[in-house]
Structure 1
Amino acid sequence: MDMKKLRAGVFGFGDVAVEYVKALRENSHVDVAAIVGHDPIRTREKVGRLGFDIKVLDTFEQMVQQKDIDIIVITSPHFMHAQETMLAAQAGKHIICEKPIGMDFQEMKRVHKAVKAAGVQFQCGMVLRWNPYIETLKNMIGRGMFGDIFYMEFDYFHKLTSAWNGFSWGGQNRSGGPSASLVAGIHAVDLMRYLGGEVEDVYANGTCGHRTDFEYPPTYIATLKFKNGAVGKTSCSFETESPYLVNSLIHGSKGSVVQDRFFTKEIFPGQTGWQKFETIMPDSGAVSHHPFRFLVNDFIDAIVNERPSMLNIDETYKTHELCMAIDTSIATNGKVTLPLA
Structure 2
Amino acid sequence: MQARPPTMNDVAATASVGLKTVSRFVNGATNIDPVLAARIALAIEALDYRHNLAAASIRPGRSSKLIGLVISDLANPYYSSLARSIERVCSEHGYLLMSMSCDEDTERHQLLIDRLIAQRVDGLIVVPPRDDPNAWADGARWRIPLVVVDRPVTAPGIHTILADNAGGTEAATAELVRQGAARVAFIGDSLKLYTMRERLAGYRRIIEHDDLRLSARLTFTGAHTADQASDIVLSLLEKNLADAIFAANNRSTIGALRAFARAGHRLPLIGFDDFEAAPLLNPAVSVVAQDVAEMGRVAAETVLAAAQGLAPLVETHVLPTRLVLRGSEAKEISGTEWLE
**Structure number with higher strand proportion:** 1
Q: Same fold (TM over 0.5)?
A: no
TM-score band w.r.t. shorter chain: 0.3 to 0.5
Q: Point out which structure has higher relative CO (alpha carbons under 8 A, 6+ apart).
A: 1
**Structure number with higher helix proportion:** 2
Give the structure with higher Rg (CA). Answer: 2
TM-score (norm 1): 0.39
